Amino acid sequence: MVQGDRNTSFYHVSTLIRRKHNKILNLKDSQGEWINDLTTVMEHVRNSFSKLFSTELLSSPLSSPSVDITSPQLSSSESHNISLPVSNEEIKNALWSLKAFKSLGPDGLHVGFFQRFWLVVGRSVSEEIKKIFSDRKIPLELNQTHISLIPKTKGPESIGNFRPISLCNSAYKIITKILVARIRPFLDKLISPYQATFVPGRKGVDSVIIAQELIHTISRKKGQKINFAKSKVFFSPNVNREQRADFCETLGFNSTPKLGSYLGFPLRHAGASNQDLNFILDRVNQKLVGWKANLLSFAGRKVLIQATTSAIPSYVMQTTFLPSRILDNLDRLNRYFLWGSSELKRRMHWVGWEKITQPLDKGGLGLQTAKGRN
């Protein structure tokens, strides 16, 4: 992004593939009917988001005085500190804490532009932000965002299968960073300590471990009230089909082959199985197929393995020891991509994988095996 892309065939092919992959040609409406006309698709998306970000209620049901709501509060002195006029130092610190080349907002200017030309634009930007804090109102042109749709599932069919994220203007990001810096000292008073994502030193994957422990704990408890609408029965493979049907009919439950997933992790009653974790191989394979190994140099393929395919399973590896078959297949995919091989066309692997995964000072390429990273 900083140095620009070279005018290569790989760049143009990647651009065409990405553009084709990201284009929404048709969607299903609320009745499950396909919409194929582009104009109608655009209208459907616009109406869906208008409904999502609006309400039909004339007043909030929580405004009733009979409802006793207790929430965390700040003292008057703490509220005063948050409301103090913003300084030039705060603005500059907030700007330099942002990443320079994230996705563009409606203003079309990266944060890196303001960082590099701060001596030129710094005064006008600071005056505008100070005015916003003084008036306590963000101008409409700065409060606009681009909405980008991120697919929740592979092959999304309806608008509900997309997650909207907002791409903000750079000035809006600076204002947000200033507010975050001012509120951060009081987070322990405003946010529950059980919110792992907001607690320093803890990660979202901690919640996955807690969820797994809850499953084990609940399985040992007796006499718990069960929500029949939300509950399903998970059977051992040793239970035959007739017994499963009789059990479900008697208790009024449906059966399920999986416990589902939480924060991207499959929930399990026992150790991880190959079937539960095949999605990791699918993600890596999708990346490799889209890159077109024959359009990249050997060094380019090595960099992509280090930066991307090796990072895909890292999130799951934080809490799970992957089965040997998954680890071996991850190495195989990386090995094939490095030498330009595929399932249909094998190429000569001139150096063994054991040698390639050695450190640079020992004659290897510094790549890591999946087992070593796990």
Q: How far is CA 66 from the centre of its chain?
A: 40
334 C-beta neighbours (distance < 10 Å), count: 26
Say if residues 356 and 337 touch (Cβ distance below 8 Å): no
Q: What is the pLDDT averaged over residues 215-220?
A: 63
Please give the model's pTM, rounded to 2 decimal places: 0.55
Task: Answer whether 51's CB lies under 8 Å from 29's CB.
Answer: no
pLDDT digits (tens, 9 = 90+) for 59-69: 555 554 554 55
**Gap between the Cα atoms of 174 and 162, Å rounded:** 27
What was the pLDDT predicted at 89? 94
Q: Alpha helix (H) ranges present in 23-168? A: 38-52, 76-82, 88-96, 111-116, 118-135
Q: Over pLDDT 70: what percentage of the chain?
A: 78
Which pLDDT does position 35 carry in this prediction? 92
Q: Is the pLDDT of residue 19 over 50?
A: yes
**Residue 241 vs residue 274, higher pLDDT:** 241
Quick: pLDDT tens for 234-254. Answer: 887 788 888 888 777 776 678
| pLDDT tens per residue, range 115-169 | 999 999 999 999 999 999 999 899 988 889 998 898 888 888 889 888 889 899 9
What percent of the chain is modeled with pLDDT above 90?
17
pLDDT at position 73: 80
Average pLDDT, the chain: 81
Residues whose CB falls within 8 Å of the CB of residue 44, separated by 6 or more in sequence, listed in order? 27, 29, 35, 159
Q: Which of 123, 120, 142, 122 is closest to 132 using CA atoms? A: 142
Q: If pLDDT is split at 50, 70 and 90, which confidence band does 292 have?
A: low
pLDDT of residue 152: 84
- The token duo for 332 is 């195989």
Residue 239: per-residue pLDDT = 81
Phi, psi of 15 (to 5 degrees): -65, -45
pLDDT the model gives residue 1: 44
Q: Which of 77-91, 138-152, 186-200, 232-246 has the lowest mean pLDDT?
A: 186-200
What residues are paired with 261 via a beta bridge? 266
Give the C-alpha distances (Å, rounded to integers) separating 275 from 240, 271, 278, 279: 20, 12, 5, 8
Confidence of residue 206 (pLDDT cuts 50, 70, 90): low
Question: How far apart are alpha carbons 310 and 303 in whole angstroms?
Answer: 10
pLDDT of residue 67: 47
Question: Average pLDDT of 8-14?
Answer: 79
Nearest-angstrom CA–CA distance, 158 and 142: 31
Are 368 and 310 in contact, with CB atoms under 8 Å apart?
A: yes
DSSP string, 276-296: TTHHHHHHHHHHHHHH-GGGS
How confident is the model at residue 127, as a pLDDT? 95
